[in-house]
Structure 1
Amino acid sequence: MRTIDWVDGAIELVDQTLLPDRLVMLRITTVDDLIDAIRRLAVRGAPALGVAGAFGVVMAGGDREQIARLRAARPTAVNLAWGVDQVTGSADDPLKTALRLRDDDIAACRAMGERGADLVQSLTPGDARIMTICNTGGLACVERGTALGVVQTLHERGRLAEVLALETRPLLQGARLTAWELQRMAAPYRLVVDSAGPYLLTTGVDAVLIGADRVAANGDTANKIGSYALALGARRAGVPFIVVAPESTIDAATPSGEHIEIEDRGDDEVVTVRGVRLAPEGSRALNPAFDVTPNDLITAIVTEARVITP
């Protein structure tokens, strides 16, 4: 199954806000509808956003205002702007370029899965017990995924003991999306409350695998909020902390993590859960969608082309 694709002149993508209850494919025919799908997280994940941006430029038909709004729809993930720029800066036919980016993402995820699984197996003599946060599977890409693509490769090799998947508050991408994908691949897993993750790293986890929405030039990485706490816990417990992300996520124009704009998604996602209010009426919230992990806490960054040790 592809999370996002170009079909008969329009974008078709999985509406991830409806999972795991329903698997619904949206058909996107306008740039405005695509921007809405991006902002409400119907499509999410750095690689998938890159492909969405590329297809969106095709749909914009050269309208610069629409392209600029699309490029700015989510500020932290560099891949959205990268996908837009790859198509607008190409001399080739826009659709041809966008389809090439789609195919490159599929190939990159397979390569990251193999390279990352090789690294985990080199660090772990037996079957690996992996901790992960958010969703980094095929839903975050076109197919297979980044960090969860490594998990899938380990599972296919018969070298996966268990996945501990953090629920990932406030939008529960781990509980809703990662668990759904792990069930589909018949991989053993258990869900973990976010705040339990750092402690559970002391109980026999072999590696933490996460994705990234942006990798700064110095190796600092921005990823789903809660990643930094896992990095701190992993350093204390002596557990390898591995970031799996495509080369397109590396942003040489951003010197370090302190230069990464962190998106705040407002009160509602924190004070309610799927429409049910948890906090008293009028409660305010801080809701950073991402945090930054400094490079000195990262064991390795795995891309489709190389393993980087910051």
Structure 2
Amino acid sequence: MTNLLSVPRSVEWKETSITLLNQQLLPTAVEYIELQSIEDVWDAIVSLKVRGAPAIGITAAFGLALAAQSYEFETREEFETQLQKDRDYLASSRPTAVNLFWALDRLTTSIANVKSLNEAKTTLVHEAIRIQIEDEEVCYQIGDHALSLFSKHDRVMTICNAGSIATAYYGTALAPFHLSVERDIPLEVFACETRPVLQGSRLTAWELQQSGVNVTLITDSMAAHTIKTKGVNAIIVGADRIAANGDTANKIGTYGLALLAQAFDIPFYVAAPLSTFDTSIEDGSSIPIEERSPEEITHIHGQQIAPDGIHVYNPAFDVTPNELITAIITEKGILKDDFTSEIAALFS
């Protein structure tokens, strides 16, 4: 697999710690921090030092494996009881991204047949590493499928950061843009700033610049005008959870872009790995929507920009109904007809 990306990796396992790219400081500083405890991992997820559903899952998996390395129990029952407690603790960090729970549950089930507690510790580490390796390949495949939907010089809009630093590598919605540079298929990308935490301006714009993609930053409120005046051909976004019928939760503002795509009669694509699907829920009405601190809206870099005591509504995600989605791009191919039956077939 050709790899020309100059974007740093978001998370790496270091045997006794986890090295994490601190996404809070981008784009003005590229800083790596060492996570040495499960509490460090929980805080990194909650405070958005790591974000992006796949990267959260990978970091949580490493965090659970790291915690287990310090266990000194003599019985398997004690070991598994503490592992479940630590699993639940990490799972409490963020409620919407299903990859978090998928990765943690994959680790806890990976030790079902081990014969010793030392083997269990080793197995947990190996399973977390496998999750990361698999995610990089999955992202490459998603990018390959997604790129087939675009032509040279297409103009494509995106929101938030479903990129290399949100995954093991390459990303989901941004993967076709990175691959377009590798394959000399020039595309022009319009990145929404993504208020209130500015993942688009801080992360997507920076990441695509690093990769040599032609990217233009816009504010979220400029989306309709930009589609009309710049001739945007398509919109592509990532996902944090996809229901059994294809309803998709993604960063707040995604639903609005899907409505704009319908209004302008351009395709609206969702790019996500199979680990993002939650077939246990029928539709998007059952997806929990995280509400975050009012300060994310009332302050910018610690500077207050709103009146004292103002009421704030700060949902981190919204849900796009399946009828607004042109296609869902996965590592197994492109779903574009009856999402309910196609998704069911993937998991049968």
* TM-score, length-scaled by structure 1: 0.96
Corresponding residue for residue 105 of structure 2: 85
Corresponding residue for residue 310 of structure 2: 283
Q: 4+ runs of 1 displaced by more than 4 Å?
A: none
Task: Give 3-state SS (helix, strand or coil) of 1:120's partner.
Answer: coil
Corresponding residue for residue 35 of structure 2: 28
1:57 positional shift:
1.5
Q: Return the match for 1:134 from 136, 153, 160.
A: 160
Larger deviation: 22-31 or 152-161? Answer: 152-161
In structure 2, what is the Cα distance between the partners aligned to 1:299 and 1:274? 37
1:8 positional shift:
2.8
Superimposed CA distance per residue, residues 243-281 of structure 1 (whole angstroms, 9 cap, x where no aligned partner) = 011110011112110000000002100001121110012
Corresponding residue for residue 59 of structure 2: 52
Matches within 5 A, 1:152-301: 152-203=178-229, 204-301=231-328
Larger deviation: 249-258 or 276-285? Answer: 276-285
Larger Rg: 2
- The 8 Å contact of residues 301 and 308 in structure 1, kept in 2 or not, is answered as yes
Matches within 5 A, 1:44-123: 44-61=51-68, 62=79, 63=82, 64-91=84-111, 93-121=123-151
1:160 positional shift:
2.7
Q: CA RMSD in A?
A: 1.2
Task: Give 3-state SS (helix, strand or coil) of 1:147's partner.
Answer: coil
In structure 2, what is the Cα distance between the partners aligned to 1:182 and 1:34? 27
In structure 1, what is the Cα distance between the partners aligned to 2:267 and 2:92? 34
Larger deviation: 108-117 or 190-199? Answer: 190-199
1:159 positional shift:
2.3
In structure 1, what is the Cα distance between the partners aligned to 2:23 and 2:293? 20
In structure 1, what is the Cα distance between the partners aligned to 2:322 and 2:225? 22
In structure 2, what is the Cα distance between the partners aligned to 1:139 and 1:292? 23
In structure 1, what is the Cα distance between the partners aligned to 2:141 and 2:204? 20
* TM-score, length-scaled by structure 2: 0.86
Give the AA of the match of 1:46: A
Gaps of 5+ in 1: none
- The 8 Å contact of residues 211 and 244 in structure 1, kept in 2 or not, is answered as yes
Task: Give 3-state SS (helix, strand or coil) of 1:190's partner.
Answer: strand
In structure 2, what is the Cα distance between the partners aligned to 1:54 and 1:8? 13
Corresponding residue for residue 5 of structure 2: none
